[in-house]
Structure 1
């Protein structure tokens, strides 16, 4: 498994993520945003972060543009969590998608949010070849989620 992580800078942590989370908690989705809540793998306490909810062929996915960050480790341990938008809370289960199946999902994610997260994909974009997307797939965890499970 890749150990690729791009930690967010001060501005992202203290300004951007807080602003997106604040609006999302009030029920206003920013470009498909939700607040992801996952139990910490050691503490058992809820940990939250804003995420982009991707829908492809009627199925929902969470993609980690910054790589194997804390929420991805917690998701693997917990097997699910909650997606929050305003007062709406949806519990879900999660299954990690294998690297070989990520290519169309990464392409769809980059088509939707390249302006926001493209910098984290090493120059690979939605128009890149399947080979280029396959090369970066191990660096970006993807989880298929099932709401209400």
Structure 2
């Protein structure tokens, strides 16, 4: 795993905050959902919007920007809360090994590339298998478990 982190600029943070508020109210855009995780140093709850990828009945969250704050917090906590304010549920997270990531990343890009282009380590839906394998180590992927 590498520690790439494509930090959002001010405009992206403002836009993401608006989308986060909508998802907190239960208004998801293109499959987006609210993820909350406790901060590893402050203990305060932090919220972010993620796209939940479902493959063969299993749910996954992908961090195309890399080793973000929510990723580090989720690793430390071992669980996150998913859903809007009134229906949050706690779920355990399990990080997917690098070898299993390419197929999940490819499916994620097929569905949400329009949203994350420029933030997925240079990958596109047309990237070759070898390109995806090289970048996969820098894109955290978590399976959501019950």
TM-score by length of 1: 0.93
Hey, what's the Cα distance between the residues in 2 that align with 1:72 and 1:10? 20
The within-5 A match list for 1:1-149 is: 1-14=1-14, 16-147=15-146
Deviations 1:61-112 (A, max 9, x none): 0100110011111111000110122522121000000111001100010011
Hey, what's the Cα distance between the residues in 2 that align with 1:58 and 1:124? 25
Q: Secondary structure at the match of 1:102?
A: helix
RMSD, matched Cα: 1.2
TM-score by length of 2: 0.95
Segments of 4+ moved more than 6 angstroms: none
Q: Is the contact between residue 29 and residue 85 of structure 1 (CA under 8 Å) also seen in structure 2? A: no
Deviates more, 1:115-124 or 1:50-59: 115-124
Q: Is the contact between residue 28 and residue 86 of structure 1 (CA under 8 Å) also seen in structure 2? A: no
Hey, what's the Cα distance between the residues in 2 that align with 1:43 and 1:124? 34
Q: Secondary structure at the match of 1:75?
A: helix
Aligned residues: 146
Gaps of 5+ in 2: none
Tell me how far 1:45 sits from its aligned partner.
1.4
Hey, what's the Cα distance between the residues in 2 that align with 1:108 and 1:79? 24
Deviates more, 1:115-124 or 1:105-114: 115-124
Q: Secondary structure at the match of 2:105?
A: helix
Tell me how far 1:58 sits from its aligned partner.
0.8
